[in-house]
Structure formats: structure tokens, C-alpha cells
Amino acid sequence: MEYLIGIQGPDFVLVAADNVAASSIIQMKHDYDKMFKLSEKILLLCVGEAGDTVQFAEYIQKNVQLYKMRNGYELSPAAAANFTRKNLADYLRSRTPYHVNLLLAGYDETDGPGLYYMDYLSALAKAPFAAHGYGAFLTLSILDRYYRPDLTREEAVDLLKKCLEELNKRFIMNLPSFTVRLIDKDGIHDMEKLPHVSFPSPPQTSD
Amino acid sequence: MALQDVCGFLETLDDISPCTYLPNEMGYMWRTPFEFDGDSAFHFLFPPQQCSRKNRAPTLFSSTFSSLSPHQQPFQLSHGTTTLGFIFQDGVIAAADTRASCKGLICCPISQKIMPIHSHLVVNTSGSGADCMLWERILTREMRLYQLRHRKRLSVNGAAKLLSMMLHPFKGTDVCVAATLCGWDGEETQETLQSCMEIADVKEAVEQDSNVSAISDESAQGSVKMASINEQDEISKDTQALNPTVSNQNTKNALSTFGERSGPRVCYVCSDGLQLKGEIISVGSGSPYAYAVLDDGWRWGMTVDEAVALAREAVFRATHWDAYSGNNVDLFHITAHGWRRRDREDLKEEYYREREREKKKIKEREKERQKREGDELVEGEGDIYSVHCG
């Protein structure tokens, strides 16, 4: 029911996540942010079982920040991804595995942009584009067709919009809005929420 | 309990019967986040030790801590209720029904689901009744300890985080708690403390005087007027000071006029780990019905009367459709001065009153229609067809 997507360009990574926090059949929140900022240039997108997502993501977040405090420099995205995977793997065979699916997106000074796909079985793969959730079944083929390694930022956003249009058309769940962020050498940039048609907010007073 | 923790005194519970292994583990778990010895600092780094807690289903009847198979519950625990909480420009409204059910039986028609934690925080609970009672007390204890140690109240979001962390080790067990924390974050000054004590006195006096009166729009205004005139002035002055131009702004702007540190807050915490901040939260089997009413009528710029009426109607509609909600409705209103409680109202009477109102409305509409057609008859030629249509 939740959806994450990431697209890596030559010098940026574009990520988007839906904004719905649901509890059984009710949407409890329409503006829930599923992205966790690990450092100035690393974002962790996390979906999965209710409590596990926040618990695990915050644990990783605090540890990455602790590393910086201890050592004076930040973890690279690759290192952070491997650290996350190791923690998932350690807990996988314990009595309390974390059922979370993750995308880690970051920009490294030396290696450039990176997008890492991780799932609840602690598989890790560096990929040019990736998606999680039922929506992934609908959008991965679109990404396959139109993705090129030398996408510009505008083309990446257009590709993302194509994917979200397909979701609106064919996905049974209503996912009205998505948070979109872009990571490049200048850090994490918030972009306009998609789609542009905004979700009708509760009626406002008019006196 | 609180003094025991402050002194660091742990009882030995080996010789006491069944389910009291819980306090021991909980004592271990809760002391560490707040102690500042070197060992416990690392407890923040590791997700809490789960060990074999998850396989132990805490039951009343099992005295062996076997982790092989969960002991059969003697009866199914049901989680039927309607609770809701929402913020608006003049504070927070927390409302809930009062029916405690157990499968098909109403165990208690007059239970209290909204408990005050401290002067500026109440918690709506749903889920398993025993778990809710226990965790309310635990949360109250931890909030009080925080206040004593740090000389300021923990914010609503902080309390939600605390409760969520405390519940996390019990994920996967039968603990079922879905709590909505409704409160007012604010600076703790001498004036507000003073006025909170005054409010408490006024509230007591007022509760002694008032009687459970009929629910209607008149009574909604009546019970709000129960507060003394001084108090009303104080409150209106304070709200004006806090939010000068609030009524036409949308939520985000309005919250920012309060500043990040103070203002109304509503936060949902669930024992399966979900934690949400929002403007409107409703929990329980009757929550879909309540959401429908709340989404339709909620505005940031509502007056207190409108908010109270909306909350009452939402609970009323939910109790009408949901079998597991019903009996009475409790309503709390929290402002910068603290919480105030409305009298408990019986929804059965509200149901009959609504039927009367509907009957009256139908009669009025009928009269109007006849009058309109009477006028048409007079204006027209007296066609037989128009007579039949009447």
C-alpha cells in the first residue's frame, strides 16, 4: 500500500515517497513524511510494518550521526547502506526481525550519486532506479523503458511524473500526494509535492 | 512506584505469584533511559533487548514462563470504542464514548476512557481495557518523574515518543493499547501554574453545582458558560494574546503563530508502533463514522461551542452505527490554562431528542410545502391537477 521510488542521474538522485499513513482501512494522515535524513547528503526512505519503520530508521539515523560526532567526518552513502544492511541482517534471525523495506539515496564526493535498494530480508543492491511497494509492479517497466544514465533533472522529474500517473490510473489504492526530494552535491533539496493538483484540505472558515 | 524508582529500590519478586515478572522487566527497561551512568548511555544505541519477551504471552493463569506456545486466553478481548481528539484555534477537544465491551457483552456502560495525565494533557485510550489502565498509570508516573527531574513539563510529542518507546518491546505480544495524547504544549510560568490551580478549584465547584442536563445546542452553550466569568475573560485574553489573527488561517500557518514551542497538540500512539501527529485523530471500531463527521465539520477557526458540538455529534453518530460504542459521551477541552471536563451525557436521550427534532422538521417542511402550494392555487386558475399535487 505504500510506495517508494528512486531514480539516479549522472550527478543527482531523485527520490519520492507517498504521504499516506494508514491504519487498517483509514488514512490517518495525508502528509506523513517517510524520508529520514541520515546526514547532509543521505536520505533513508523507509516503509513496512507500523512501528518497525520509525524505530529502525531512527536507530540508523542516530548511529550515523554518532559516527560523525566520534570521527569528525560523515559516513559515505555506501558505508551507510552496508551498515543498515548489516543491522537488518543481524536482526533477521533474531526473535524480533524488522520488517522494513528501504531505499537509501546519497551523494558522495568521490563516488558521486548512489541509490541503494534494501528489502526486509536484508538484500542490498546498488541500482540506477528502484521502487518498493505494490506500485513498483506498475512502474518498474516504465522506468525500464525511459531511463537513461544521462538523464537531466527535468527529465528525471518527468519520468517520475509518468510513474505517478500510472499509479493514479491503475493502482487500486488512492495515493493523492508524494513528497519529492533531490540530492546532489549541494545537499538535499525539497521539491514541490506531486501531483500538482492538491489534496482537498478540510473546509476552511470564511468569515 | 515513583519514589521507588527515584531511590533505585528494586523489590525481589521471585516469591510472588504469576504475572509479576512484568514489573521486573519493566523496571529494568525504564530505569536505564533516565540514569546517567556510563552503562545505560549505550542503551540508546541498541534497539531495546527483546530477548524472549515476545514469546511469552502474559496471562493471568500461567505460572510457568514457557516460551513454547502462548497460553490460551480464557475469552477473546475485544477493542470496541470510539475516541477522538482534534485541535483548533482555541485548544484541543478530546471526546470518547463510555462503553467497555467484551465480545457481545457490555462489561461496563460507564467506563472512563479519557484520563488526565497532568494539568495540560489527557489521554484517550482504546484497545484492551486492562492494558490501557496500566499504561496510563505508567505514563503518568514517567511524566511526573520527568517534570521533577527537569523542572518543566514534557511536550505532548515527547510524551508520545516516550510511550512509543516503552511499548516497543511488547510488540508482537497481546498488549493492545491505542492512545491519543491530547494536550497543550507551553511554557511553564508562574502565571500559568497559578491559573491552573484556580481552574482546578473552579472546576470542582462547578461540578458540584451542575447536574447532568439535556444535550442540545442550548446545553452546549450552558456548560461552557459554567466556568466563572473571570475565567472566561482570562481565557479569551490569553487566546487573543497567543493568536491574534488566527481565525482565517489554515492549520500550518495557525500553528506557527503559536510558535514551535507552544500550542494545541494531538498525537496518536499505538502498541504496534505507529506514532502520528495530526489535527484530527479518531481511534476505535467507531472511528470511521466519527471521521466522516469530523472531516465534514472541522475548521481551524471554530469556536469552542462549535467544536464541542462537533465532537459530541461525531461520537453520537459513531455510537449509533457501531455496536461496540455507546452509552455516554465524555468530553474534555484543553487550553493553555489546563483541561476542563464537560458533564457526561447520555446518548440514548440524544437519540430520542434527535428523532423529535426530525419529526418537527418534517412537519415544518410539510407546512411550508402546503403553504407554497396554497399560494400557487390562489395565484393559478384552480386547476384540479394542482389540487391533487397538494
Closest by CA position to B145, among listed B8, B11, B3: B3
**Which residues have a Cβ under 8 Å from the Cβ of B91 and sit 6 or more positions away?**
B184, B264, B304, B333, B334, B335, B336
Residue from A139, A118, A137, A138 nearest A127 by CA: A118
Q: Which residue of A has its CA nearest to B67?
A: A95
- Across the interface, whether the CB atoms of B168 and A51 are under 8 A apart is answered yes
Contact B278 A28 (CB under 8 A): yes
Is B157 in CB contact (< 8 Å) with chain A? no
Question: Could you tell me the pTM of the whole model?
Answer: 0.69
CA distance A207 to chain B (A): 7
B-chain residues near A94 (CB < 8 A)? 50
Is the dihedral angle over the CA atoms A185, A188, A194, A197 positive or is it negative?
negative
Which pLDDT value is given to residue B14? 42
Does the pLDDT at position A135 exceed 70?
yes
SS (H, E, C) chain B: CHHHHHHCCCCCCCCCCHHHHHHHHHHHHHHHHHCCCHHHHHHHCCCCCCCCHHHCCCCCCCCCCCCCCCCCCCCCCCCCCCEEEEEECCEEEEEEECCEEECCEEEECCCCCEEEEECCEEEEEEECHHHHHHHHHHHHHHHHHHHHHHCCCCCHHHHHHHHHHHHHHHCCCCCCEEEEEEEEECCCCHHHHHHHHHHHHHHHHHHHHCCCCCCCHHHHHHHHCCCCHHHHHHHHHHHHHHCCCCCCCCHHHHHHHHCCCCEEEEEEEECCCCEEEECEEEECCCHHHHHHHHHHHCCCCCCHHHHHHHHHHHHHHHHHHCCCCCCEEEEEEEECCEEEEEEEEEHHHHHHHHHHHHHHHHHHHHHHHHHHHHHHHHHCCCCHHHHHHC
* Partner A contacted by B89 (CB < 8 A): no
Question: Which chain A residues contact residue B50 at CB under 8 A?
Answer: 94-96
**Helices first, then strands: H and E counts in chain A:** 4, 12
Among the listed ranges A48-62, B34-48, B168-182, which one has the minimum average pLDDT value? B34-48
- Altogether, the residues listed in chain B come to a count of 390
Question: What pLDDT, in 10s, does the model give residues B72-98?
Answer: 444 444 468 899 999 999 999 999 999
Would the pLDDT of B67 be above 80? no
pLDDT per residue as tens digits for the range B208-221: 444 333 333 444 44
- The whole-angstrom separation of Cα A88 and Cα A93 is 9
Q: Which candidate from A51, A66, A204 shows the least CB-CB separation from B272?
A: A51
Instruction: Please list every residue in chain B whose beta carbon sits closer than 8 Å to the beta carbon of residue A49.
Output: 272-273
pLDDT at position B210: 43
**Mean pLDDT for all residues in chain A:** 91
Distance from CA of B45 to the nearest CA of A (A): 7
CB-side exposure of B184: number of CA atoms within 13 Å?
Answer: 26
Name the helix (H) or strand (E) containing A68.
helix A50-71
* pLDDT confidence of residue A194: 87
Angstroms from B50 CA to nearest CA on chain A: 7
B300 touches chain A (CB under 8 A): yes
Residue B128 pLDDT: 87
234-273 of B, contacting A, C-beta below 8 A: 247-248, 250, 268, 270, 272-273
Q: Is B55 an 8 Å CB contact of chain A?
A: yes
d(CA A104, CA A84): 9
pLDDT computed for residue B384 by the predictor: 54
Q: Which positions ≥6 away from B366 have C-beta within 8 Å?
A: none
B168 touches chain A (CB under 8 A): yes
Give the closest of A29, A95, A201 to B250, CB-based: A201
Residue B243 has pLDDT above 80, yes or no: no
DSSP at A104: E
Residue B41, chain A, CB below 8 Å: the answer is no
Position A207 pLDDT exceeds 50: no
Q: Which of B50, B273, B291 lies at the smallest CB-CB distance from A51?
A: B273
The CA-to-CA distance between both ends of chain A, in Å, stands at 39
Let me know the angle formed at the C-alpha of B117 by B111 and B123, rounded to the nearest 5 degrees: 55
Residue A31 has pLDDT above 50, yes or no: yes
Interface test with A, best of B51, B274, B281, B299 (most A CBs within 10 A): B274
User: Could you give the CA distance from residue B282 to residue B272 in angstroms, rounded to a whole number?
Assistant: 17
Q: Is pLDDT larger for residue A194 or for residue A115?
A: A115
Residues in Cβ contact with B359 at an 8 Å cutoff, skipping those fewer than 6 apart: none
Taken in order of first residue, the domains within chain B and their CATH numbers are 79-188+262-346 (3.60.20.10)
Mutate to test the interface with B, among A19, A23, A24, A63 (most CBs of B within 10 A): A23
Query: Which residues of chain A are within 8 Å of residue B250 when distances are taken between CB atoms?
Result: 201, 204
d(CA B210, CA A6): 61
Q: Provide the pLDDT for residue A62.
A: 96
Angle between helix A134-146 and A153-170 (nearest 10): 140
Q: What's the pLDDT score for residue B345?
A: 85
Per-residue pLDDT, averaged over B180-188, amounts to 85
Give Cα separations from B85 to A28, A29, B99, B227, B314 (angstroms).
12, 14, 17, 22, 11
Residue A69 has pLDDT above 60, yes or no: yes
Closest chain B residue by Cα to residue A64: B45
- Of the candidates A25, A28, A66, which has its C-beta nearest B268's C-beta? A28
Q: Are the CB atoms for A202 and B250 separated by under 8 Å?
A: no
Please state the length of chain A. Answer: 207
Residue B16: the pLDDT is: 38
- CA–CA dist B141, B1 (Å, integer): 8
Contact between A50 and B273 using a beta-carbon 8 Å cutoff: yes
Band the pLDDT of A205: cuts 50, 70, 90: very low
Q: State the Rg of chain A over Cα.
A: 17
Using an 8 Å CB-CB cutoff, list chain A residues near B48.
none
Please choose, from the candidates A133, A141, A135, the residue with its C-alpha nearest in 3D space to the C-alpha of residue A172: A135
Residue B225 has pLDDT above 70, yes or no: no
Which residue of B47, B250, B298 is in closest CB contact with A55?
B47
| Residue of chain B minimizing CA distance to A23 | B274
pLDDT-derived band at B188, boundaries 50, 70, 90: low
> What number of other Cβ atoms are within 10 A of residue B167's Cβ?
23
The full set of domains in chain A, from first to last, is 4-195 (3.60.20.10)
The answer to whether the Cβ–Cβ distance between B274 and A95 falls below 8 Å is no
Task: Judge contact between A57 and A4, C-beta under 8 A.
Answer: no
The residues of B annotated with a catalytic role in the active site are 81
Across the interface, whether the CB atoms of A96 and B250 are under 8 A apart is answered: no
Q: Which tens digit of pLDDT belongs to each residue from B352-388?
A: 888 899 999 999 999 999 999 888 887 765 555 555 5
Q: What is the CB-side half-sphere exposure of residue B207 using CA atoms within 13 A? A: 11
Contacts of A46 in chain B (CB under 8 A): none
